[in-house]
Structures are given as structure tokens and as C-alpha cells.
Amino acid sequence: MGNIVATVDLRKYFPIRGGVFSRRIGEVKAVDGVTLEIRKGETFGLVGESGCGKTTFGKTVIRLLDPDSGRIFFDPEGSLPSDPQNEGDVSDHEITSVKGRRLKYLRRYMQIVYQNPSTSLNPRMLVKDIVAEPLLVQGICRGREAEERVLEMLQRVGLSREHLYRYQHEFSGGQKQRIAIARVLITHPKFVVLDEPTSSVDVSVRASLIKLFKDLQRKMGLT
């Protein structure tokens, strides 16, 4: 299988401002010239100390943040060449500056599981609505069909029908993360960024979540 994601000299800087008029006095180089390739079906890990730019890189790759320079390539089918910048016509797969409808469409294939589910889940929404929201936003389905898909996905992550009509505060940390995972996977993405998804749960729960990720990767063909 080929590559599903590739970046070329990717950069993302954040300005440092100071003084009376908040002038730009410097910058934080969160992502500075990163070139890499991720093969379809692969588990790719970024290792680094806290604050080194791992989360920023992940958000930039899936276009939650706009890059300052460089190029990003994404192909849900995993057929990118090993050197996308110099091999053939891959313009259809470059997502560096896509916007509007095309970016919205790509969202269903690129998702992220955040570190703390308590801050990524809406406390005013029932679980069934939290998980179904991507289906409605993407115009995939609604009503009875959406509810059936939500139940199926909840069962895949180890939850059940009785959890549909509860709020996030009624769950443990591990269960909240399973809800977040179900929401991410409901559109059947091809590429998922995991932003330290086990760091906010108890040690006893981490092993079960890691096993769940491995099982879902195998069954759903995730990268």
C-alpha cells in the first residue's frame, strides 16, 4: 500500500506580541520544516517533550490549523507516491490551501481524538446527539438511520443502548473517551490523529483503550 499522508517542509509559527500596541516581537516555531510520509494502515508515532509541537503538527496536517508554508498531501485510498512533490501529478491530493466545501468533505476522512474528552464533548447534549452530529453536519444521514448508526458505533467502542440518553457528566473518564472515539469514527474516517488520548484517564483504563484502538484499526482499516 502507498502513502495516505505526506508533508513537505511544513511550517507553522505563532507570533509573540508585546508592548503597548501589541507589536510582533518574535515567534514560536511550533512546526519548523517537517517532511514525512505515513503509509496507509500504519501506526505512526511522534515522540517529544510537552510543548514541542506534536499537537500543532497533527492539527495542521488535518487542516484544523492553516500552515504558514510547506505542502500537505492526503489521499484516503492510500495511493500517494513516495515522493509526492517530484513524482507525477498529485495536485488533486494536495490539501495545503483547500477551503469551503472540499475541506468540509475531507473532514469525514480526517479526524482527531483529543487528550481530554471532558473538554471536547458538549455537556448540554445527549450522547446520541454528540455521536450523531458529524453525520448531520456532513449530510450523510439523519433520523432513524442516524440513530441506528450511532448505536452500532457505541457498541463497537464498548458502550450500549442504555448510554444513548445520558449526558457526559454521567460517565467515567474512560467512558467519555469511548464516546469521543465513537463520534470520531461515525463517518468512517481513513486517517485519525490521536492526541495522547490515554493521558487523562486512570492507568487501569489505558490498557483497555489501547486495545480498543488496535481492534478498531484492524477492523476499520484506520491509519
Single out the residue in 82, 100, 118 at which a domain terminates. 100
Instruction: Say how far residue 34 (Cα) sits from the centre of its chain.
Output: 19
**pLDDT at res. 110:** 92
The pTM score is 0.88
Number of domains in the chain: 2
- Note the pLDDT of residue 84: 54
Residues 85, 115 within the same domain: no
Query: Are 211 and 133 in a shared domain?
Result: yes
Q: Do residues 74 and 45 both lie within one domain?
A: yes
pLDDT at 37: 92
Task: Provide DSSP, 167-206.
Answer: BGGGS-HHHHHHHHHHHHHTT--SEEEE-STTTTS-HHHH
Q: Do 191 and 89 share a structural domain?
A: no
The partner residues of 12 in beta bridges, in order of sequence, read 31
113 and 11 within one domain: no
Contacts of 13 (CB under 8 A, 6+ apart): 27, 28, 29, 30, 31, 32, 68
The whole domain housing 170 covers: 109-222
Residue 209, Cβ density class (10 Å: 0-12 exposed, 13-18 middle, ≥19 buried): buried
Q: Residue 59: what are its φ and ψ, rounded to 5°? A: -65, -35
- Residue 179 belongs to a domain with what CATH number? 3.40.50.300
Residues 6 or more apart from 92 whose CB is under 8 A from it?
Answer: none
Q: Which three cell numbers stand for residue 179?
A: 464516546
Split the chain (223 residues) into runs of 10 and give each run's mean pLDDT: 88 83 80 91 89 90 94 80 54 84 89 86 91 91 90 91 91 89 92 86 83 90 90
